[in-house]
Structure 1
Amino acid sequence: MTYYEYGDNDVLQLRDIPDPKVGPGQILVRVTRASVNPVDWKVMSGALDSMLEAHFPVVPGWDVAGVVEGLGPDTPEFAVGDRVAAYARKMVVSGGTFAEYIAMPAEFAAPIPEGVSDEQAAALPLTGLTAKRSIEALQVTDSDIVLLHAASGGVGYLAAQQAVLRGARVIGTCSPDNFDKLRAVGATPVEYGDGLTERLREAAPEGIDAVADFVGGVLGTTLEVLGDGDRHVSIADPEVTEHGGRWLWVRPDGAGLAELLQLVAAGDLTVDIDRILPLGEVAEGFRLSRNGEANGKIVIDVER
């Protein structure tokens, strides 16, 4: 799946392009599954052009699961035939994961353990690593009360589980439709919207120690419920840096992804998948993501 200029879904084209070259320290992966993230269609719109260089034609997609098909020089970590997953964002937007093959640095990739499906592995990297980076940046411990804004979303749901695994008490904002989803992983749901600050104070009268914002537009609420010196991060609002917080952007991290995949294999981390679409329906996946119609990750089956 490619696009030759920025735009909406109508710029997407399913076309044959040359296979990627495999350089030193890189692996060539035959893609079996990929997954959609909002950043995919945001990049396609041109909204991130000031930050990310694009070389057209662009193959979108940053999440991948597949099989190692080839090795560049000095890649002892993997062998041909290994199942791997990766958050495959590169310095230049071009050769992405909605394709039959992708070449990437070996350190981006993680082995997929037995018992983890390609669908689970492809749905995990960007959201899972973003959640991991957020919880680690907050230095969450078993003595913390942690607030997650948009806790039932792609990143928030995985962050809630990782914070619970650390022993924290987790409060997550979401719609009432997702209350049971959060309760099932050990978090306390609180409805977002008007009156949120008061509901949070009722849920945690002793105060909130750390906040992660996965939606944006909630900085005022965060500052109202946090005490002096407490920790907060956002993946959606750079303004947090002006108020003692940290703005996060996830990095490719094969070692970190390997830890998350082991949690999935052990049954300690659940990956939420909404549906699986063939490669030819990436535009439909983008539409569903843009309109908020998916409750879980949209996986792309490249083999269909």
Structure 2
Amino acid sequence: MAVTIKDVANRVGLSPATVSRALNKSGYVSAENVRRVEEAIAELGYQPNWMARGLHGKSSNLIGLIVPEVMSLYDNSVIQVIANELHHHGYGLLLCLHNEEGEQDLGYLRHLREKQVSGIIYTHPLNGNNSAFVRQLADQIPVIELNRRRERDTLDAVLADNIQGAYQITHYLLGLGHRRIALIMGEDELTTGQNRLHGYQLALGDQGVAIDPDLVRIGSFSRSHGEAATAALLDLDPIPTAILAGSNRILMGVLQVLTKRHVTIPDTISVAAFNDTEWLQIWDPPITTVDIDVAEMARLA
């Protein structure tokens, strides 16, 4: 049986992605770990895929980037920063948009494998779970997860500190005197939603505020979920005094329902959200947000 990069990783106690970076010199790996990887390769007789491709003239200076779309300001910023960084280092970009659909995502993962790209920067789709295929792919190609991770994933990833971000914004709302703070969040299969929920719970617990299950609405990171959850929250008695929206799409649904029902912000309900965007800068009254440094995350990836 041929030796794989996973065998090398197991021998040295590192992730396959870290071993790949050491082989490709495509990111920071300590000198000691590089030495250990080289020793393990010699001992196991492993031949990296990029060497085999190079012998046949098939090596690639392309990096695959899989993101949901180009229309969102977040994804657009990610694409621009990564494209500039890759150009600076002599790499080209192969862009794939899965539109949050697992079937499209799987097709693009296979396409990038066939194109023999030098690495993949990957954002999970909200619909569908291709984690098993991604883990297999990472045995052949360096894969970095960006912004989203599923619970049992062990690949290298660049993620926002969602626990701390949720804690800070919930703590801010508590400091304004709010005690009935609703959270509208997306899928709990993704660590994004899990960690934001955890930060929210920690902040309430630290202030001795009991968590009301009726105020926590878990669904999808979508505008429609924001609308449905907000409508349900407004039917409670008493209604929440603040709503924390788990994403920009959720926030759009929240604001649409509040506007339609003539609920004033912040007089009746305060609203806060994750991810600052340009359109929020002209919203009146202003919406408090947790700003994620998208450019820095993209550069790190």
TM-score scaled by length of structure 1: 0.38
Q: Which has the larger radius of gyration?
A: 2
Larger helix fraction of residues: 2
Q: Which has the higher contact order (CA 8 A, sep 6+)?
A: 1
